[in-house]
Amino acid sequence: MNDPDFRDYQVGIYSHQNAIFRLNRPGYSKVDAALSSSAWTVYDHFREAFSWIKLKASPEAKFDAELAQPEINEAPIYDTKEMTQIIKQVAKAYGAAVVGVCRLNRNWIYSHDKRGQPTEIPEKITHAIVIGVEMDLEALQTSPAYPASFATGNGYSRMAFIQSCMAEFIRNLGFEAIPAGNNLGLSIPLAIDAGLGEYGRHGLLINPEFGSNLRICKVFTNLPLVSDKPIKFGVLQFCRTCKRCAESCPSQSISYEDYPSWSGPTKSNNPGILKWYINVETCYHFWTQNGNDCSTCITSCPFTKNRHWSHRLARFAIKHVPFLNRILVKLDHILGYGKQRDPQTFWKENKEFIHTRKGY
């Protein structure tokens, strides 16, 4: 949005949508697009999901606003370990798939927001609660068609619900809470610090249980908590061998290099971290041409699988017997894991699709 030299300067993802409808491709109909865009409703319109202060009842409320918003003084926290467990239980009760806690590393906080205003998180904020929300894998596997964007948008809307409820829960205890989606700070480094996974070749978090099939949000707080520790389960070595995401990427935006580097291919990359960098410009260009976002790198990743015993066995081998990685990658190819679903048959195979999916 801010680089006049970029070929897609100020071009929206949905700019070519009408032209795409005329192509009459499976998974790109107006029905598919309507499903996709509606899934973002809560995230896009519930602005209070990102509020830094305690929410107030609206004047139109049918109940007594004062009774609905009792004043609660800061609750004494005698056992931070127990409080941390409660936080995780509450997050999962609201719909989180995974939850972790870390000390707030301010290197991961943005200096400015999208409008160029400085981001100043108060010094008293000490921790980040990092929450992963599972997406609908069957819908996601139609990527890059519109039903996959339904899974993404639904994940974001559920994020907004969970993070706002979590923030209010903490405020009701008398502590500060700042909920955030993609804003305020980098979600993936915070998730790594919180012990939720490792960094993958495709630039995303890889979790031991859900692979990359997670949307990530966070709540910054001064609530006393016990931090989790980063984990290692063989992702770096496996990604060096695998390269399935790079092979599957429609825009070829993912590196094939064996080793990570300290800088990326474009000026849109922020250098200085040892990782595999994504060509974010060619990736976004594909989004504009696709009229929709893309999740193919997520579903092609061998870690992103249904929780079957065979996949748990493979994950065990990746962690403990890494010399088998090449064999596992070949098996992934042979058995067709990570293959995209045909969006044309998707609705026919899932006649109860809308009714059987979890809402936010």
278-332 pLDDT, tens digit per residue, is 999 999 999 999 999 999 999 999 999 877 777 788 888 888 888 888 888 888 7
Asked if residue 250 has a cis previous peptide bond (ω within 30° of 0), the answer is no
pLDDT at residue 360, rounded to an integer? 35
Nearest Cα to Cα of residue 230 among 188, 201, 260: 188
pLDDT at residue 355, rounded to an integer? 46
Q: What is the mean pLDDT of residues 27-56?
A: 91
Q: Look at 86-90, 240-244, 291-295, 344-348 and tell me which has the smallest mean pLDDT.
A: 344-348
103-150 pLDDT, tens digit per residue, is 999 999 999 988 888 999 999 999 999 999 999 998 999 999 999 999
List 130's β-bridge partners, or say none: 100, 218
Q: Which domain holds residue 24?
A: 17-221
Kindly state whether residue 207 falls inside one of the protein's structural domains: yes
pTM: predicted TM-score of the whole model, two decimal places? 0.90
Kindly state whether residue 190 falls inside one of the protein's structural domains: yes
Confidence of residue 162 (pLDDT cuts 50, 70, 90): very high
pLDDT at residue 337, rounded to an integer? 62
226-270 pLDDT, tens digit per residue, is 999 999 999 999 999 999 999 999 999 999 999 999 999 999 998
- Looking at the structure of the chain, the number of domains it has is 1
Per-residue pLDDT at 349 exceeds 70: no
pLDDT at residue 314, rounded to an integer? 83
Confidence of residue 346 (pLDDT cuts 50, 70, 90): low
Q: Look at 69-78, 164-173, 246-255, 268-277 and tell me which has the smallest mean pLDDT.
A: 69-78
Three-state DSSP class for residue 12: coil
pLDDT at residue 64, rounded to an integer? 55
- For residue 14, CA distances in Å to 21, 191, 285, 293 come to 11, 30, 12, 9
Q: What is the mean pLDDT of residues 338-355?
A: 62
Q: Determine the Cα–Cα distance for residues 283 and 301; give it in Å rounded to an integer.
A: 17
Q: Determine the Cα–Cα distance for residues 58 and 63; give it in Å rounded to an integer.
A: 10
Tell me, what DSSP letter sits at residue 261?
Answer: B
pLDDT at residue 59, rounded to an integer? 64
Averaged confidence pLDDT in the chain: 89
pLDDT at residue 313, rounded to an integer? 83
